[in-house]
Structure 1
Amino acid sequence: MPATDTPPPEPADDLLHWLRLQDVAGVGPVTARQLLARFGLPGQIFAASHAALREVVGAAGAAALLAPPPDGLARRHDAVLAWLAAPGNAVLTLADAAYPRSLLDIADPPLLLYAKGRCALLARAALAVVGARSASAQGVANAGRFSHALSEAGLTIVSGLALGIDTAAHEGGLRGAGSTVAVIGTGADLVYPPANRTLSQRIGERGCIVSEYPLGWPAAPTNFPRRNRLISGLSLGVLVVEAAARSGSLITARLAGEQGRDVFAIPGSIHATLAKGCHKLIKQGAKLVETAADVLDELKLPLPPGPAPAHRPGAGPARHAALLAALGFDPADADTLAARAGLDAAAVVGQLLELELAGLVERLPGGTFQRTVL
């Protein structure tokens, strides 16, 4: 069913002025906010004199603001109005009561937010859950379980709709009462990556999709680091599930710190490449978390009655006990495991295959195996 908590649309003339202000060259979110503080709504900015504008943005900025509207603005305006006619779609401006208050605390909130779905979620307590696109099976499981438990506790899960950890975080959020918000790096009428089209549709129906980019804006490498400030800005804190030493998730964590948000990280094996970023964050002061309760305790939020644990130690059939004990929780190859467990190498290979099919171990690059905590 389409969402029913969509705020009323902006009057058409007001929306046209907002779109025009967003298009002015050299006027970004920070400068635009200064202009709004001085003159009021965008229509009043464009009605101001060159002298008055010059006091805020200088001569070049004033000239840009008073230049004729760009070609195509009217067509873009019509396209936005047509998009708004669909149930659940909304455009939130800085002047809207429904604009997320948490974003007003960051240095450069966007002038416009294009939203699809339950806009009321943008006003709720939220936690960002982010991590690697090429995530391990363990990382995906952790992201889903933590997000589900935190959503059940009432937190809205915010992430970026990417593959891997983001996908698992959104899925976990949708399974709980808090639902999920996807902050995307394209226009709100597009889906990227295409593989998440079905998930995007479900979020649009039961959660909320948000973008600062104009309709039709394509995916580009520069979009995603920029949108990360909104992922952290909408949230009380950021939980990094898995991240390499150089990762976009670390950008989100850094932005969270700059915005005064909490940063949490799940530790991993000292041998795991995707744990290096989390360990780096922990060394820098991020809170090490092992369960969803750790996050809720730090945020001073109550644990829901009878929550499912974020993870529990996995156990396999009794016949695999010796092999699992030999494996521990660090990667190892079959020959090493055979020597540790005192088993025949062929038997170890067979058992590893059974454990992999059961989801109790995962095969890593280079022929090694790692235990999965379920």
Structure 2
Amino acid sequence: MLKYWVWLAELPGLKSPSRLALLRHFGSPEDIFFADREELLLAEDVPPKQAELALNRDLSAADRILADCQRLGQRILTIQDAEYPQRLRNIFDPPLVLYVKGRMPAMDEEAAVAVVGTRDCTPYGVAAAERLSQELAASGAVVVTGLAKGVDAAAARGALRAGGSVVGVTGNGLDVYYPWESRDLYDDVAAAGVLLSEYPPGSEPEKHHFPARNRIMSGLGVAALVVEAPERSGALITARLALEQGREVYAVPGPIGAPASVGCNRLIRDGAGLAAEGWDILRDFQERFPEKLRPAGELPAWTPLPTRRRAAPEPRQKQEAVPEPEETPALRTVSPEGLTDDQIALLGVLELENPIQVDDLIETTGIPARRVSSALTMLEIDGCAAQHSGKRYTRTVTLE
């Protein structure tokens, strides 16, 4: 039953790797729910204290979430549903459930491109994001965006302008507009495409939600396009996740020395595709999607979409600003429970002030390169590590 999926997804304290490992072991959330302590402790790759959290049999939160979904017109897609995209199911850390509003495209049959970039973008970034997304949609691609202010919102507007399908992936509940001024954009995306979130209705935006959301964006697509990204940017996390997921990465070049383009220019230097127009990306996928993709031809000069006006704006309490994902997280203490052995080993080597290169981490820990890369990604998503230039890392937490 669906309530057991929601129960498992929302169990307090249970880490995502433990949820997935329990599901692999038992086969269904319902079997996990009714398992006794001894059975839970037999699950492979689940620390005992994590396994014991599944003894919490309180279904009240799940019942409330299901009622909210029905009231708000949202539905829930589980990782075992046929409609759940296989691309997303195959990533390192797929979401157990997705909350859905709108019509879900058959993502595995679409040339979907995740368009990402900084919130504090320049006018050049806004114009590039809207223009390239318009071209992508007009050429038959599905645009995936995070709907944050800046590049994300511009990408959604551009794709909608071309009459294309948009997938908006949020770091909050689908009924919580963030930022508040984007509420019309949320409604437009839900009408023309689909809104997705791994967070249930009512979930407020939290700092750690946004890099976690990015793995879904890159996982849904065949490629990721970075429009503007400073040296430390959540968009660069998305680019790295895309590469680890086997996706192609493209970037929009910017002026030399422009802070907002440092990350993009560096990606291009390191081998990312240069994207000056939408077809620079889609020509690489035309043979794979011959019935979907075609050059859009000449498009009209870029002009911003008109702003819709509401007859009577809805009252809402002033929304607190959520810090950018790329900001340095505050130092905190974390428990090793729920961390993998690789993550614990890396945190034991990483320093607070002196960044260490990935190659040195591999040599020091003896952990294979792919596992080091995956563990560092999850540590960064959880706010336990930070990346610096030259693929160097520091830790941002202390272990108990």
For this structure pair, what is the TM-score category when the shorter chain's length is used for normalisation? 0.7 to 0.9
Query: Whole-Å Cα distance in 2 between the matches of residues 162 and 282 of structure 1?
Result: 24
Amino acid at match of 1:104: R
SS at match of 1:116: strand
Greater displacement, 78-87 / 278-287: 78-87
Greater displacement, 51-60 / 193-202: 51-60
Deviation at 1:122, TM superposition (A): 4.2
Greater displacement, 213-222 / 17-26: 17-26
Listed as ranges, the gaps of 5+ residues in structure 2 are 303-400
SS at match of 1:119: coil
Deviation at 1:47, TM superposition (A): 2.0
- 2:49 pairs, out of 42, 60, 85, with 60
Say yes or no: does 1:102 pair with 2:87.
Answer: yes
Partner of 1:316: none
Q: Deviations over 1:175-217 (max 9, x none)?
A: 3354111111111111100110111111111111111112211
Name the structure where helix makes up a greater proportion of residues. 1
SS at match of 2:229: coil
Change (3 A) 1:61 1:196: same
Deviation at 1:25, TM superposition (A): 4.1
Query: Whole-Å Cα distance in 2 between the matches of residues 48 and 25 of structure 1?
Result: 18
Q: Deviations over 1:96-139 (max 9, x none)?
A: 11112211111111111111111235443310111122222222
- 2:217 pairs, out of 214, 220, 231, with 231
- 2:190 pairs, out of 204, 226, 239, with 204
Query: Whole-Å Cα distance in 2 between the matches of residues 185 and 297 of structure 1?
Result: 31
Amino acid at match of 1:156: V
Q: Tell me if structure 1 keeps the 8 A contact 2:112–2:141.
A: yes
SS at match of 1:192: coil
Deviation at 1:245, TM superposition (A): 1.5
Query: Whole-Å Cα distance in 2 between the matches of residues 221 and 279 of structure 1?
Result: 26
Partner of 1:112: 97
Q: Deviations over 1:9-41 (max 9, x none)?
A: xxxxx1221122123345333222222222121
Say yes or no: does 1:34 pair with 2:24.
Answer: no
SS at match of 2:113: strand
Query: Whole-Å Cα distance in 1 between the matches of residues 21 and 62 of structure 2?
Result: 25
SS at match of 1:92: strand
- Kindly report which structure 2 residues correspond to 1:131-280, keeping only aligned pairs within 5 A, or say none: 131-280=117-266
Q: Tell me if structure 2 keeps the 8 A contact 1:121–1:208.
A: no
- 2:294 pairs, out of 301, 304, 318, with 304
Amino acid at match of 1:43: E
- 2:2 pairs, out of 15, 24, 36, with 15
Change (3 A) 1:128 1:191: same
Query: Whole-Å Cα distance in 2 between the matches of residues 144 and 67 of structure 1?
Result: 47
SS at match of 2:105: helix
Partner of 2:352: none
Query: Whole-Å Cα distance in 2 between the matches of residues 306 and 232 of structure 1?
Result: 24
Q: Tell me if structure 2 keeps the 8 A contact 1:291–1:310.
A: no
CA RMSD of aligned residues (A): 2.1
Greater displacement, 208-217 / 119-128: 119-128
Query: Whole-Å Cα distance in 2 between the matches of residues 193 and 119 of structure 1?
Result: 23
Q: Deviations over 1:311-330 (max 9, x none)?
A: 89xxxxxxxxxxxxxxxxxx
Say yes or no: does 1:24 pair with 2:11.
Answer: yes
SS at match of 2:101: strand
Deviation at 1:86, TM superposition (A): 4.4
Query: Whole-Å Cα distance in 1 between the matches of residues 169 and 138 of structure 2?
Result: 21
Q: Tell me if structure 2 keeps the 8 A contact 1:149–1:310.
A: no
Deviation at 1:279, TM superposition (A): 0.8
SS at match of 2:205: coil
Q: Tell me if structure 1 keeps the 8 A contact 2:7–2:61.
A: no
Change (3 A) 1:143 1:170: same
Q: Tell me if structure 2 keeps the 8 A contact 1:242–1:278.
A: yes
Query: Whole-Å Cα distance in 1 between the matches of residues 300 and 42 of structure 2?
Result: 54
Q: Tell me if structure 2 keeps the 8 A contact 1:242–1:274.
A: yes
Query: Whole-Å Cα distance in 1 between the matches of residues 301 and 268 of structure 2?
Result: 20
Listed as ranges, the gaps of 5+ residues in structure 1 are 1-13, 313-374
Amino acid at match of 1:159: T
Query: Whole-Å Cα distance in 2 between the matches of residues 82 and 61 of structure 1?
Result: 28
Query: Whole-Å Cα distance in 1 between the matches of residues 22 and 300 of structure 2?
Result: 46
Amino acid at match of 1:40: G
Partner of 2:383: none
Query: Whole-Å Cα distance in 1 between the matches of residues 102 and 113 of structure 2?
Result: 18
Q: Tell me if structure 2 keeps the 8 A contact 1:145–1:310.
A: no
Query: Whole-Å Cα distance in 1 between the matches of residues 300 and 126 of structure 2?
Result: 12
SS at match of 2:42: helix
Amino acid at match of 2:79: L
Query: Whole-Å Cα distance in 1 between the matches of residues 102 and 206 of structure 2?
Result: 24
Partner of 1:330: none
